[in-house]
């Protein structure tokens, strides 16, 4: 029996995802389009500017965490603003005793036709925990539904490593311990995500075409 080739998943600088060359809806884009993610631009220029700065810091932190978890971090060149978050993540990993199973992995759901990139899957004792890192409030980006969407992909593709817990980990360097875990246990998060995806497709004619 011939197995199907894994799809080629690409993401460009504008956060447009393609699967085998075809544009696909991505998890964070869907949540933003349907209004689950907080629209900081609608809250005024000052709030929007602060949100953009936070986003840029978040991207730098995510990149540094990736290199650190991959044992390839340039310590000497690390931005002083980013370093406290890297150190906070090291404390998190040590205290929670996690082992990395998957690191910033792109996923495609062939049934529901969406794509996304999870931050981490950890092994914790004999369980698998899907984790997304945040610098701000996880609620503001719909992390419950975001992680449910990623779990839907992961469990379909990795039935022998099915997810038993979903965490949003907010890094808070000024606190002790320097992180906060939000645990998502509501099984309805998956159906809510599917409702968001259905709404996104229903709005297709109202969005500008690429």
Per-residue model confidence (pLDDT) at position 98:
97
Residue 155 has pLDDT above 80, yes or no: yes
pTM comes to 0.88
- What value does the mean pLDDT take over residues 160-172? 97
- What value does the mean pLDDT take over residues 19-41? 87
Per-residue model confidence (pLDDT) at position 206:
67
Residue 195 has pLDDT above 70, yes or no: yes
Integer Cα distance of 209 and 207 in angstroms? 6
Residue 69 has pLDDT above 50, yes or no: yes
- What value does the mean pLDDT take over residues 152-165? 96
pLDDT in tens, 122-140: 999 999 999 999 998 999 8
The domain spans of the chain are 9-201
CATH of region 9-201: 3.90.320.10
């Amino acid at each position: 029996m011939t197995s199907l080739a894994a799809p080629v998943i690409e993401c460009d600088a504008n956060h447009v995802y393609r699967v085998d060359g075809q544009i696909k809806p991505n998890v964070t884009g869907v949540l933003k389009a349907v209004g689950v993610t907080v629209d900081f631009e609608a809250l005024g220029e000052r709030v929007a500017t602060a949100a953009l700065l936070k986003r840029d810091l978040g991207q730098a932190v995510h990149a540094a965490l990736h290199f650190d978890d991959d044992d390839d971090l340039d310590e000497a060149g690390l931005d002083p603003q980013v370093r406290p978050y890297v150190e906070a993540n090291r404390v998190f990993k040590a205290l929670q005793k996690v082992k990395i199973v998957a690191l910033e992995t792109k996923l495609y759901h062939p049934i529901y036709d969406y794509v996304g990139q999870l931050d981490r899957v950890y092994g914790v004792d004999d369980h698998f925990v899907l984790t997304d890192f945040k610098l701000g409030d996880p609620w503001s980006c719909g992390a419950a539904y975001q992680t449910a969407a990623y779990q839907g992909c992961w469990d379909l593709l990795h039935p022998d490593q099915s997810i038993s817990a979903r965490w949003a980990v907010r890094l808070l360097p000024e606190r002790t311990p320097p992180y906060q875990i939000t645990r998502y246990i509501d099984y309805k998060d998956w159906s809510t995500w599917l409702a968001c995806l259905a709404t996104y497709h229903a709005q297709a004619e109202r969005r500008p075409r690429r």
